[in-house]
A and B are shown apart, each in its own frame.
Chain A
């Protein structure tokens, strides 16, 4: 019986936003659900997040943003991933994000946005269904 590789996830906080309650809860819930989780800590740049993602060889990146900078940061992360030929890394996120912005970000390639009120189970279930181990 082959052992299936665990899905590896990077949970990150980008920019100056210090609200880390949600990011830490999600990181812990995903770890408790059996994923390998790396948390970036605060005040990362998009470049730092993508460098960590490549170095840690993760399958998905979840970013928490409560600063209103989502329309700048998510597209930048997607672009940097594509530049590094890692466009198949699943990018998802959560935070205070208005609905119109969610639609636009999803069109741009962010796979899913969770807003206040989302349960940890919802996030875990979605990741299980949507973040496969990347082919290497």
Chain B
């Protein structure tokens, strides 16, 4: 007698799959059709009912996966992953004055956070002082206001810079802020070689997505290669660029666009540093990455696994880096701010948990979990603690940190990893054909692709094709309100007063000389960092230093925006 499953012993036998489809699946579908005609990821990638061995035909685990800590690093960059050391729990924080943020840093460190991450306010991010006309209403709102070294000294008061690692989300004026951090370390008596941390310093994604630029691309890339060279020499443990897909995704890209444009930016930085004459194995190991963790669980895991495999190929096969450390994609992940809803804000805790779990299963090195109230305002102390606790529960209770890359070998996850990789390679090929990422940006290519994807997604949500719980489904009963953080009205005034006092106090003669020197160096091929450090030590402000450079570099203007 034929067994019920038609003699199927394994899905490796294609006859067995057909038998299942005919004998088992078809009658089931006739009795009860599936919920939808088509199932897709949040990025609109079609997903099949079932993945079987045939979907991985020709797939070679030795080549596609390797082992953890070995190329192509699909399974992770460390041999033991979270068994050896948990990911760094790094909550992004910053608001109000340097004093306010310094208090929040001490609070987070006392609650078990293991690294600092600084959010700067918009004027600082744009290289403008707190008394600049365009800064009105924005001082200390979205992050901490930093004008001069005096603010930075307060920001890190009581925090030994040789014992924490600090990530600073700063891009266009990154060289200035890094110089201030180095100057604080000098004052604390800490050698620069001991400092650990990251500056985001990723200007290319600013033109693509976040739009916080100062100078045009060419001088911006020169400032970056100067910093990279300076750090390789003087601050060897510093991560000089955090190549960021996060903002690209927040601007509305799909997962494969995030992957592709981020890696294309990475290629752009490598090319720029090579043209500046730097040795690839001296700078590449200090590049790190920063990805988004959105709602689509498996797509996000696949994206991170594909990213590591692709970067290894790019560095080893395209740029011929010799050191395996140059091939490793180390990354920070933040859960997707854009996925949070203002409606029923407590539901956001669950979204963040799912996203954080994807980041961990994707093998991240550090993680920021968003707070439930971030669709309303900056997080309160309580909501920031819940976000941190979410990571601690995943780390300590869920068991997912017990083994390395637990999803490897899943037909679906490996298929999806390959699929995202293919889509990303085809974008990278198009960008190469355009003449590289800077040319592509100047043509508005990534910007248009992202805006289109954002619009398509919004239409899907509006049409109910994509469900957002509490918004277009299950929206009744929105009664729980989350309390929100208030930024005191006095911040701007106090900050401006401190800036004016600092300007009064400093030595005006040497101040003017350091800024003149900066403008002069900008016009040569000399490394800018020593001149920036000198200006910072003399309490020149972020705005003054950026203006001195603008005099030579000019400013960036966005081309016509299509919508």
Contact = CB atoms under 8 A, between A and B. Distances in A.
A86 interface: no
A42 B462 CA distance: 26
Most buried by B among A37, A67, A71, A117: A117
A134 interface: no
Interface residues of A, number: 34
Nearest to B128: A16
B403 interface: no
A27 B252 CA distance: 15
A69 B126 CA distance: 15
A67 B128 CA distance: 15
B135 interface: yes
Given A45-B133, A67-B122, A117 B341 contact: yes
Query: Which range holds the interface residue count of chain B?
Result: 35 or more
Contacts, number: 108
Given A16-B128, A99-B481, A117-B343, A69 B454 contact: no
Contact of A17 (B122, B338, B341, B378): B122
Label chain B's interface by main secondary structure.
loop
B472 interface: yes
Contact of B135 (A16, A18, A29, A119): A16
A67 B458 contact: no
B42 to A, nearest CB: 15
A43 interface: yes
A15 B378 CA distance: 18
A43 B122 CA distance: 11
A96 B138 contact: no
B376 A25 contact: no
Most buried by A among B137, B459, B471, B558: B137
B141 interface: yes
Interface string A94-136: 0010110000000000000001110111000000000000000
A51 to B, nearest CB: 15
A79 interface: no
Nearest to B492: A72
B100 interface: no
Contacts of A71: 137
B561 A24 contact: yes
A42 to B, nearest CB: 6
Interface of A: 15-21, 24-25, 27-29, 31, 37, 39, 41-43, 45, 67-69, 71-73, 96, 98-99, 115-117, 119-121
Interface of B: 122-123, 125-126, 128, 133-138, 141-142, 206, 210-212, 250-252, 338, 340-343, 374-378, 451, 454-455, 458-459, 461-462, 468, 470-472, 481, 484, 487, 558, 561, 563
Given A18-B211, A29-B455, A68-B142, 4 more contacts: A15-B134, A25-B454, A42-B211, A117-B341
15 contacts: A16-B128, A16-B135, A18-B206, A20-B561, A21-B250, A21-B251, A25-B455, A28-B455, A68-B138, A68-B378, A69-B136, A69-B141, A117-B342, A117-B343, A117-B375
